Structure 1
Amino acid sequence: MEILGRTINAILKRPFILLFFAVITMIVTGINRFNPIIPILRGLDLITEGSFIESIVSYLQVLFDPSIIPVFAGFVAAFCIVTSLLAGLFLSGCFNVVNNAVANNKKKKGEYITGLRKYFGRIFLITLRSLIIAVLLIVFMLVASVPAIVITNASITSRPELIIPAVFVDILTILVILFGFMFFRAYIFFWYPAALNNEKKYFAYSRKIVDRHFWSIAAIILIFDLVFVLFVYLCTYISEPVIYFFVNWIFYTLFFTLLITYIFSAYRVYSNRIKERM
């Protein structure tokens, strides 16, 4: 409750945080309407004309096609660099405002510009490293999921006696993927506030806090995940484009405002507890 209270208090003290994410999410939500990825995936579904498992296999075959890999790698590299630059440009100032708010620091003029000047490089490098690690992790998870996909497809289409091993392998694969991404996100999330509150060894501070409070952090991340998934599911019932746009805009504004402010608040509370024990 201490973390949640600090989170709400920070948002109330700095309305700029909510306004900032309202602007960013409106822009991203508008751009997302022209996102080509979903139509491409739907096109692959039409081409394969198979089951869900067969569609996944088709996606993996396309992704790991030797002729596609150089193009895909170039696209990923460009995406990582551009996204990191944008993160440094916009989030460095915002994170400084959030960090000052959760620390109960007195509001000062030019907090955003100060954060941009001081933390642009840190946020850029952390985001770039995080995205590269994320891409490698996703590729690893995709490769690791191939046995589960193959055995599941076989049990459904031609080998029903494999259904029990398939279920076991599927559950094991899902747990590995879930915990892998949970650990990854926990360390990455706390890397940012660590960078704003320490002059060096940012990741070491992040790891120290996550290692000591992993299950509490994982529980909160899981709650945010469930809320996000539930919202996405409910949005499938919205057919009116204008309503869909505004509902998404409002939700994502509140979601990311709470998530990021909560992470910074949690870092502040956990780091204070560590200092008290020393």
Structure 2
Amino acid sequence: MAAPSLDAVETNAAARYATGLTLVGFGGIVLSGDIPLIRLSESGFYTVVLVRGALSSLAAVFLWWLARRLGRASGPLIAGRLGLFVTGLYAVATLTFLVAVYETKAANVVFILALNPIFAALLSWAIAGEKPSRATLLAIPATLFGVLLIIGAGLEAGHWIGDLAALATAFLIALALTLARRSRQDMRYASALAAIVPALIALPFVVTGGGIESEAVGWLVVNGAILMPLALICLAAGPMFVPSPVVSMGYLLETVLAPIWMWLIFLERPSNLSLLGGGVIIATLGIHAFVELKPKHRILGAGPKMTKR
């Protein structure tokens, strides 16, 4: 059986990269609706953690089961020991994120979590042997600059425990993405499945606190059953197609777009620095995608070369 031609290999690689960017971009955009839907539901904190986490994990299991029934599943729900470890990383990251939210200022959390792309680039280089492209290396500080503009001069020092927890969250997510990328296995359900851990932790607080606390629980159900699993599955599937630093930059889309949705829905206008920072991040991600895909689109457009008879 003849080996595939170089053109066929390059064309397939280009298509996979384009698929990965599409998944990451779509996942980041969908994830940006998380905060607005939580606000619309007018729910208590532990209610949000319980309902969103439980529904997200159940939705992931259902989608995996449905894919298997339709003959489209490419692997088990959890891909062996490494898949279980990656799922555990996502679960711990969720818990450290909650600690960070409680123990330090929100501005500190956002800024420290923006270190995710840097961690992903370094870990991808050290663990997976993938040296970041020049475009990615240039995009990382540009996106960090955009986040810094969003925070502006309002960055305040918080408690060191919360700051360390936020730092751990950024590192754990980057590590999970990198290990998933290195394994080349299908771990798209890992992040959504991990949401069951904080849900179980929140359960006793909801039970002892008088039950579900929500004025419009329907929005919370839409968020947990549809929005969150869709976003998390797309983002977790990204490492199968593109390097983990590229996937990690997709998470920054929530930082940019969520304030815009809040402005449109609740008339909470972002500051001028927030708008400027959001513009910097969107422009950077757009230019990065264009630069990375330009040579690949040329390959796709050219198609396989015809050999002379």
TM-score, structure 2 length as denominator? 0.35
TM-score, structure 1 length as denominator? 0.37
Which structure would you say has the larger RCO, counting Cα contacts within 8 Å and 6 or more residues apart?
Answer: 2
Q: Which has the higher helix share?
A: 1
